[in-house]
Amino acid sequence: MLSTLLDTLTTDFRIVFDRDPAARNWLEVLFCYPGIQALFFHRFAHLLYRLHLPFIPRLISHIARFLTGIEIHPGATIGKGVFIDHGMGVVIGETAIIGDYALIYQGVTLGGTGKESGKRHPTLGENVIVGAGAKVLGNITLGDNVRIGAGSVVLRDVPSDCTVVGIPGRIVYRAGERVDPLDHGRLPDSEAQVIRALVDRIEGLERQVQSLQDMRQPVEAHALAHASNRSFMLMPDLADHRAQDKIIEQFLDGAGI
């Protein structure tokens, strides 16, 4: 068990240099990075918690919170290579489970939604990125390689390889290209895409209405037939409608997470 703990601490330490371009030397990381300090405290507190030692694990957690601004309940299970960047205001609940190589930014809450007993905090898969200020609440599961946009509120399960943004969180990207963990700020604006699709649809309908109004002018029968054919040609392309419908459907489907 001791060798496993040392291996995990070593992985925690080394991952900082991969995830933070500002990390210059081991001395700076060890003494000036609250995220790594909070994890070191937690690893020790969690070990004592598993031995059912009373009071001491919570005291260690409280001391770590005072020193780092990061509150991790000693009962939380955290995988290796997890990096808490900056970390001020991070709260991780008692039954939370965090997979290997997760990246968590400041202000994140992995919390519960009530006073229920048992498993009441989130489970995060491997390589999950949780942006600054995001809230992941309740006994829900986030799959591997999930990205949570900054400030999002996630209340339902999220499948692997998805990107979630908004309040409440919506899936805006499914099983797509693999991205750099530090490029979490490059997220699509799903609401803007849907609004643009709806505006385009309204403009197309307005053109149809105007065309129909023009046809009502008294003209000869052959001119009416010609105008009817011309208005048909002015109808918005069916493929454009289908593309717009797909964007809207994906937006509404994402609201179901």
Question: Any idea which of 2-16, 45-59, 61-75, 140-154 has the lowest mean pLDDT?
Answer: 2-16
Q: How far apart are the first and last CA of the chain?
A: 38
Domain boundary among 161, 183, 205: 183
Question: Any idea which of 113-122, 141-150, 220-229, 247-256 has the lowest mean pLDDT?
Answer: 220-229
**40-70: pLDDT as tens digits:** 999 999 999 999 998 999 999 999 999 999 9
Is 10 in the same domain as 135?
yes
Is 218 in the same domain as 120?
no
250 falls in which pLDDT band (50, 70, 90)?
Answer: low
Q: How many domains does the chain have?
A: 2
Amino acid (1-letter code) at residue 204: G
Q: What average pLDDT does range 68-85 have in this prediction?
A: 93
Q: What average pLDDT does range 125-150 have in this prediction?
A: 92
Q: What average pLDDT does range 131-150 have in this prediction?
A: 92
Is 143 in the same domain as 239?
no
Per-residue model confidence (pLDDT) at position 217: 62
Average pLDDT over all residues of the chain: 80
Three-state SS for the chain is CHHHHHHHHHHHHHHHHHHCCCCCCHHHHHHHCHHHHHHHHHHHHHHHHHCCCCCHHHHHHHHHHHHHCCEECCCCEECCCCEECCCCCCEECCCCEECCCCEECCCCEEECCCCCCCCCCCEECCCCEECCCCEEECCCEECCCCEECCCCEECCCECCCEEEECCCCEEEEECCCCCCHHHCCCCCCHHHHHHHHHHHHHHHHHHHHHHHHHHCCCCCHHHHHHHHHHHHHHCCCHHHHHHHHHHHHHHHHHCCC
Residue 89, domain CATH? 2.160.10.10
Which residues, at least 6 apart from 201, have a Cβ–Cβ distance to it below 8 Å? 236, 241, 244
Domain boundary among 152, 183, 214: 183
Peptide bond into 218 cis (omega under 30): no
Domain with 239 in it? 190-254
Is 78 in the same domain as 125?
yes
**173-230: pLDDT as tens digits:** 666 555 455 555 555 555 666 676 777 778 778 777 877 777 776 544 555 555 555 5
